[in-house]
Structure 1
Amino acid sequence: MSSILARIQEIAANEGITITALERKIGASKGVLSRAITNGTDIQTKWIQNIVENYPQYSPAWLLTGIGPMILKEKYGRDLVSEPEPTYTYNRKNDLDNSLIYRMYKEKEEENKELLKEIGRLEERLKNNESSGPIAKDVSIENSSSKKRTAISVSAQSKK
């Protein structure tokens, strides 16, 4: 795949001008593009933007990626300056990532529901035991995702 600099050279050739003339047209100092082309170095994005603004008949998508037509055309074949139609691609990796995240979310949601039920049961037991006198009870809750057990000591005094 060719570089942006190679595509800039193609624009100059298609316009029938030199790189120096293209530099003048976009407001760049003499040698900005030609040195980058010679040395294979990068250019600032402002020069790419100036090329797009000064040569709107060329596709910005083509200039950046080399994909699609070099010159923008209307659907009916006439030259026209317009934005290229967006292309949508299916990205299986994103779908898998989203699916994995969704599954993890659902697992945590189920775990939270179970923990809330357990809390409700423990609160009910605590209320029932408060009326029968002082108690001390060790409760163990298992976190299903980390397989860790957490021990909680619950003490309650009966009200007299």
Structure 2
Amino acid sequence: MSQQAGNTAAGVPEVDWTKAFDAQSQAAFGQAFAPDVVLEATLLTRPIKGREQVARVMAVMSNTYESLEFTHQAANGRRTYLEWTVLALGGLQMKGVTVLERDEQGRIATVAIHHRFLNESLLLSEHAGRQLLDILDPEDFYDPAVRTR
């Protein structure tokens, strides 16, 4: 797919979310989020809540990606659906979809990130957990040494 400026394919509008990924900046993510934003993701064992924590997680993850392209976008009311492809951790290829839900002021209130496939998701979750020990509990991410039921 041909790409326009930034990280979006031709025909995919740039929005605050895609621009924040392009900037790979905690501040850029924070500006897009509602104060009580909630992040749910395949890579997490439970939701992460609050602008500062979610912005930090997203900044770390955006810097983990060697390349990211948003390939398709659809919207319905306050929800935006973004499909993407990513290359991370020295060649790990993944695809997925992100669902953004906005509040009355247009800020992102809920983020749901769905990576595929399982093995790649587990590797990326484990990596993210190591990178975010300063603000999150290790139990928020996959750890191959710990099995939960």
TM-score > 0.5, shorter chain as reference? no
Structure exhibiting the larger radius of gyration computed from Cα positions: 1
Higher RCO (C-alpha 8 Å, min separation 6): 2
Greater share of residues in strand = 2
TM-score (norm 2): 0.28
What is the TM-score of this pair, normalised by structure 1? 0.26
The structure richer in helix per residue is: 1
